[in-house]
Structure 1
Amino acid sequence: MKDLTGKKVLFIGPSFFGYEDDIKNELIVQGAEVDYFDERPFTSSIGKILIRLGIKLLIKKAINEYYNNIIEQAKIVKYDYFFVISPETISNEIVEKIKATNPNMKSIIYMWDAIGNKNNANKLINSTSFDCCYSFDRNEVGLFPNLQFLPLFFSENFDVNYINEQLRKYSIIFIGTVHSDRYTLVNKIINQVDGNLLPFYSFFYCPSKLLFLFRKIQSKEFSNISLRDVSFSSLDKTSIRKLICESDIILDIEHPSQTGLTMRTIEALGLRKKLITTNEDIKYYDFYSSNNVCVIDRNKPVISKSFLNSMYIPPSEDIINKYSLREWIRTIFS
């Protein structure tokens, strides 16, 4: 691990449920000076939809102006590290201009989305723009010769050592963005476990009504989801943590196009909670135990009563600590 004391970090990544703040704050705790910029120049729903759909011609001028301001700042600050997470808008040309502001600057890219879902990221990782490239999906590493595997993390917000005991209210909890078959699958599981002593809690989030209505037109999987089933305001971390702590088991449903473990899966580890997941790949991780993790078929989910009633048996502290945000930062900036 390198000492980050006094090192200047230019951090560009998506604004995503406050995880960017967790990363920035941990870098500061480890001694770095950090300037953070949202990777997406637009906060409006229309702008985000155009980026997500790859329709950038209409907003190219605004993207260039946004990044030109960052480049001008980089000329003044002379950053030691250039750190990018899951890019959608930044191009190779912009990356090279930022790097040119300090030839000795180390450039790092980390993917917490499937690379195949991000056209820009695919191009960047296939290029030689970054000194170090990481992915949360171990199955993608073999597809790119310069890609290293690094799972996601849990922050202090989801570390059981920093949390007071909560009264149990729910048997199983699901909190997540509405996409793919998540809504259908959650309801299948609710019907299966209905009758437990404690109720099931679910919360579906969508960033905007416009995006939701677009998905209803575009995807048959959204056809049976009504507006009242979805929240267009996200839960804050304190609320999410409280709900999870009040539950016995966390339900995780990954996007069908990825095999990397979700943030919620790693947070379950940090909070020492049992997990039900559709992700078979979890069996290859060192913290996996059939006592703590129930892997279900997303087409025919079956959850045994013995799993629902079993006690959590925590892995060793050495294994758990490997997945902390502190160690994640140390690995990336090593």
Structure 2
Amino acid sequence: MLKDVFKNKKVLFIGVAFYEYHLEIIKKIEQYGAEVTFFAERDTSIKYGIVNRLFPFWLDEYQQKHYTSILKKIANKEFDYFLVIRGLRMPLSFVRAVKAMNPGITTIMYQWDANVNSPFLELEADYNITGEFDKVLSFDYKDVEQNPWIQYSPTFYIDEVKKLAHNTQNERKEIDFFYFGSYLPERYAGLIKFKEFADRHGYTLHSHFYMSYRYYLIERLKGTKLDKSLISFAPMSRKEYLALFNKSKAIVDVSNAKQTGMAMRVIDAIGTGKKVLTTNAWVTKEPGYNPEQIAIIDLNDIKLPASFLEKELEPSRVDYSLDKWLENIFVGSPSPVHTLNADLA
């Protein structure tokens, strides 16, 4: 099916340069015969960081220049698909320019953050772009529930994780719990509480808690107390993540309290049959939810059945592969019509 969708097609992809997931998406689309032109949704240099943190009132102007530069680079190209993941402060004028340059182009927006964290709904007129897209999808249950014209689509696991599903049962499990994530205050507090729980019950715990050194210094200057021994100032490589993931009986997920969608580490675990402890109770809405595999925990009162880690499970029959994600995104019906930008036409 995806071969029929992508063969000899050209895709303009603007999205988050998030670890290597954007590269995996590009590689997979190109495997099915398309040509992909990718641009990060924002300048990823230190200059952007300075503007964002110290001069936020310049951010819109800075983003406008970024998107203007993209228009210049694609001026002589034609595209069949326009895929946007998030689209931070993407101007309405930019989206309309892309569509004007490519009559008949199929436009798709996907959100893998909640609107409350990264606003994309009901923005001011110059940035209110959702009405320009044929399909708008999100991984966040609450955003979809509150906006029926948004289609639900969970994120995905990459092919390397898919391969683990076939051999993870044979791997010796040396670690009871693997706590993996980047710094958020609630995640750090959760790590402290979960470490106490693991020590108290004799569980082995491996944690990798990433925080940039610059961010660490800012938090320390603000007076935040942090145990440096629990923090890593370098992100974990994919190879190391997969190795530790495979050696662990369960993944601990302390979700961002402001989002309701499943984190990618939860998708990885469900897809391989690995146990999950998560603070995100919304996961019970997922077709792949299995209470024998996924335990909802309260960090203030962590409880776990004694036998929870013992029984090994088969990988979920629900398909969370990158191929399936692309089918959800590119195949099927468009989103229900909504006319948020009708007054601007």
Q: What interval of TM-score do these two structures reach, taking the shorter chain for normalisation?
A: 0.7 to 0.9
Counterpart secondary structure, 1:3: helix
Change over 3 Å in CA distance of 1:54–1:67 after alignment to 2: farther
Q: Distance in 1 between matches of 2:220 and 2:115?
A: 25
Q: Distance in 1 between matches of 2:93 and 2:142?
A: 28
Whether 1:188 and 2:190 are equivalent positions in the alignment is: no
Whether 1:302 and 2:296 are equivalent positions in the alignment is: no
What's the offset of the Cα at 1:4? Answer: 1.0
What's the offset of the Cα at 1:147? Answer: 1.0
What's the offset of the Cα at 1:6? Answer: 1.1
1:26-175 counterparts in 2 under 5 A? 26-44=28-46, 47-48=48-49, 50-51=51-52, 56-120=56-120, 123=123, 127-159=130-162, 160-161=164-165, 165-175=170-180
Whether 1:290 and 2:305 are equivalent positions in the alignment is: no
Q: Which residue of 2 aligns with 1:329?
A: 326
Q: Distance in 1 between matches of 2:48 and 2:41?
A: 13
What's the offset of the Cα at 1:197? Answer: 6.4
Q: How many aligned residue pairs are there?
A: 324
Under a length normalisation based on structure 2, what TM-score does the superposition of the two structures give? 0.85
Q: Distance in 1 between matches of 2:49 and 2:147?
A: 28
Q: Which residue of 1 aligns with 2:250?
A: 249
Q: 2:183 aligns with which of 174, 178, 184?
A: 178
Report the AA paired with residue 175 of structure 1: F
What's the offset of the Cα at 1:127? Answer: 4.2
Report the AA paired with residue 119 of structure 1: P
The Cα offsets for residues 246-268 of structure 1, whole Å up to 9 and x where unpaired, read as 11110011101111111110011
1:71–1:101 contact (8 Å) kept in structure 2: no
1:86–1:121 contact (8 Å) kept in structure 2: no
Task: Spell out structure 1 runs of 4+ moving beyond 6 A.
Answer: none
Q: Distance in 1 between matches of 2:255 and 2:122?
A: 20
Q: Distance in 2 between matches of 1:307 and 1:237?
A: 27
Counterpart secondary structure, 1:134: strand
Identity of aligned residues (%): 28
Q: Which residue of 2 aligns with 1:14?
A: 16
Report the AA paired with residue 40 of structure 2: D
Q: Distance in 1 between matches of 2:315 and 2:83?
A: 31
Q: Distance in 1 between matches of 2:276 and 2:54?
A: 35
What's the offset of the Cα at 1:168? Answer: 2.4
- What is the Cα-based RMSD across aligned positions, in Å? 2.4
1:180–1:255 contact (8 Å) kept in structure 2: no
Change over 3 Å in CA distance of 1:127–1:173 after alignment to 2: closer
What's the offset of the Cα at 1:122? Answer: 5.1
The Cα offsets for residues 49-79 of structure 1, whole Å up to 9 and x where unpaired, read as 644x695443555433332232123321211
What's the offset of the Cα at 1:202? Answer: 0.5
What's the offset of the Cα at 1:92? Answer: 1.9
Under a length normalisation based on structure 1, what TM-score does the superposition of the two structures give? 0.88
Q: Distance in 2 between matches of 1:149 and 1:217?
A: 40
Change over 3 Å in CA distance of 1:152–1:316 after alignment to 2: closer
Q: Distance in 2 between matches of 1:304 and 1:54?
A: 48
1:180–1:256 contact (8 Å) kept in structure 2: no
What's the offset of the Cα at 1:31? Answer: 1.8
The Cα offsets for residues 160-200 of structure 1, whole Å up to 9 and x where unpaired, read as 24657543221100110010311121221222122666620
Q: Distance in 2 between matches of 1:253 and 1:179?
A: 10
Q: Distance in 1 between matches of 2:50 and 2:175?
A: 35
Report the AA paired with residue 269 of structure 2: A
2:12–2:81 contact (8 Å) kept in structure 1: yes
Q: Distance in 2 between matches of 1:140 and 1:120?
A: 11
2:177–2:204 contact (8 Å) kept in structure 1: yes
For structure 1, the residue ranges without an aligned partner over 5 or more in a row are: none
Q: Distance in 1 between matches of 2:116 and 2:165?
A: 36
Q: Distance in 1 between matches of 2:208 and 2:262?
A: 20
1:88–1:121 contact (8 Å) kept in structure 2: no
Change over 3 Å in CA distance of 1:77–1:126 after alignment to 2: closer
